Amino acid sequence: MTAQIIDGRAVAATLLGTIARDTAHFTETHGRRPCLAAVLVGDDPASHTYVRMKRTRCAEVGMDSRYIELPTTTTTASLVAEISVLSADPTVDGILLQHPVPDHIDERAAFESIAPGKDVDGVTMHSFAAMAFGGTGFHSCTPGGILRLLDAYDVPLAGRRAVVVGRSPILGKPVGMLLLARDATVTYCHSRTRDVADHVRDADIVVAAVGRPELIRGEWIKEGAVVMDAGYNPGNVGDVEYAGAAERARLITPVPGGVGPMKIAVLLEQTLAAAQSAHSG
């Protein structure tokens, strides 16, 4: 068996086209463009690249973007104050705090200073609760993108066994909640899990979200499984040994070009939704 590649770029392009159309309608109706504010602390080159990509996509779909760059020496209190100003600004619809922040900053405190209605990256506890309980709120963008890809390729979720390798609060944990809400049976694996390979071998759907290159070996993948690799490591390497996994899986995401493009698309979709919600209220 050779796996069919899940084309995240194509699915994201279709979604971005819809967002551009709906953004134009919003702008014509309300006389302003939706606005995403991106906050970046420090000088991490990868973070600067990611923020630049997001600003470029904003322009492509007709959204405004605001960029707040803060020095590495920024304190938690100063960052929280900056985000609080954006949360209170009616011209800002969505707020993105680029992850990671410098080690001395309390990232959770910074995330929680984002107003729930502007948490378009789905990083607050309010958003996590909404994902877990099916309430009103925004999805974490990478998990939300993974679900959109599974739907685009008609992958059945109800009753299927899903194994999530990784438990970060903005990727591993929320993607498990979203899968559980769709009636999948979810197992989390992490650094303290014994016999990770055995769990993966039983999985109908594998979500790799651990941040360790090729941790998941190709021979662990069950014949006919669906592999969603959310890892991105130096050298364009994911968390799954791609060549081996592609010989056994039915569907697999490449790295790059799989899960990654969906993150920005979902971020912009949720920014538009935030703007629409602000005007409907």
CA atoms within 13 A on the CB side of 222: 16
Q: 22 an active-site residue? A: no
Q: 222 an active-site residue? A: no
When pLDDT is cut at 50, 70 and 90, the band that residue 116 belongs to is very high
Q: 229 an active-site residue? A: no
pLDDT tens per residue across span 31-82:
999 999 999 999 988 888 889 999 999 999 999 999 999 999 999 999 999 9
Catalytically annotated residue among 54, 118, 173, 222:
54
Catalytically annotated residue among 64, 93, 98, 119:
98
CATH fold, domain 31-116, is Rossmann fold (3.40.50)
Catalytically annotated residue among 64, 119, 121, 204:
121
Q: Any residues with CB less than 8 A from the CB of 121 and at least 6 apart, and which?
A: 94, 95, 96, 97, 138, 140, 141, 170, 267, 270
The Cα 30–Cα 151 span in angstroms is 32
Whether 189 shows a pLDDT value over 90: the answer reads: yes
Looking at domain 141-260, its CATH architecture is 3-Layer(aba) Sandwich (3.40)
The model carries a pTM of 0.95
CB 84 within 8 A of CB 109: no
Q: Any residues with CB less than 8 A from the CB of 189 and at least 6 apart, and which?
A: 163, 164, 165, 166, 196, 199, 200
79 beta partners: none
pLDDT tens per residue across span 205-261:
999 999 999 999 999 999 999 999 999 899 999 999 999 999 999 999 999 999 999
Domain boundaries of the chain, sorted by first residue: 31-116, 141-260
Residue 34 pLDDT: 98
